[in-house]
Amino acid sequence: MLSDYLTAAARHATYEMLPEDGVFYGEIPPCAGVHATGTTLEDCRAALLSALEDWILFRIHRHLSLPVIDGVELSVKAEAAI
């Protein structure tokens, strides 16, 4: 299920070359705050996917919801009572 979510989110990635320094910038709009840069498009894509993984794990750790992307949903359960 996690790989399906990563794949769905990655399909929404957008990339552009920043004109001031030629660096590539990428973001995944459905996942607020997930963005990365790289000197090549491939570097940017790899950094963006790493940022996406970190973002997902952080949100799961903090029991924060994740957006449904292309019908793929990851449910985050409430923190267990101690």
Q: Given pLDDT bands bounded at 50, 70 and 90, which one contains residue 13?
A: very high
DSSP 40: S
Residues 6+ apart with CB under 8 A from 9: 28, 30, 31, 34, 52, 69
Domain extent listing, the chain: 2-61
DSSP 10: H
Q: DSSP letters along 46-57, please?
A: HHHHHHHHHHHH
Evaluate if residue 81 carries a pLDDT over 70.
no
Give the pair of three-digit tokens for residue 3: 């790989």
Q: Does domain 2-61 have CATH number 3.30.160.250?
A: yes
Q: Is 27 helix (H, G, I), strand (E, B) or coil?
A: strand
In tens, the pLDDT along 15-47 reads: 999 999 999 999 999 999 999 999 999 999 999
